[in-house]
Amino acid sequence: MQNPTRWREFFRVFEEQFMTICKLVAPSMQKNIPSRYVPVGKQVVIALWRLASGDSFASLAEHFGVSKTTVWKYCQKFSNTTFQHLGQFLAWPANLSAVKTGFKSLCGFPNCCGAIDCTHFEVELPGNAFASDYYNKDKDYSIVMQAIVDSEARFLEI
């Protein structure tokens, strides 16, 4: 796919990020491969498309020419593999047990490590940017802030 805007629209990552993801997950994704080998890139594309779109396994199977079971296996394998590498991208709060206890007493959620939400901040379109990257469902230009807070409403990550 040559158009970076289209690539990002379909997979929610840039092509460079996609290549980095493929390199990271390839060793695990290639374990126990079936006799009819499907390249890691296609496995990752299927998993990312599922995560980005929420399409059904049946829809993805038809779109990519594989079975529903194969789609499910690739999505599971991708999720499990990325979970194994989570520590490279996510740091748990130093006071994790206190945060869990706080959420349990605050709202009865056991093992809750944080609350996550997003909001839009309206912006003027930067002159050197792809307009579609900033255009939201309300037909405004904005950036999205995602934040994670602990049980005391302190920011853990933005």
Q: Which of 89, 129, 95 is nearest to 114 (CA)?
A: 95
pTM summary value: 0.59
Query: What element of type H or E holds 131?
Result: none
Q: Which positions of the chain have pLDDT values less than 50? A: 35
Q: What is the pLDDT of residue 97?
A: 92
3-state secondary structure of 74: helix
Q: What is the pLDDT of residue 21?
A: 87
Query: What element of type H or E holds 119?
Result: strand 115-122
Q: What is the pLDDT of residue 4?
A: 63
Q: What is the pLDDT of residue 137?
A: 81
Gap between the Cα atoms of 97 and 111, Å rounded: 8
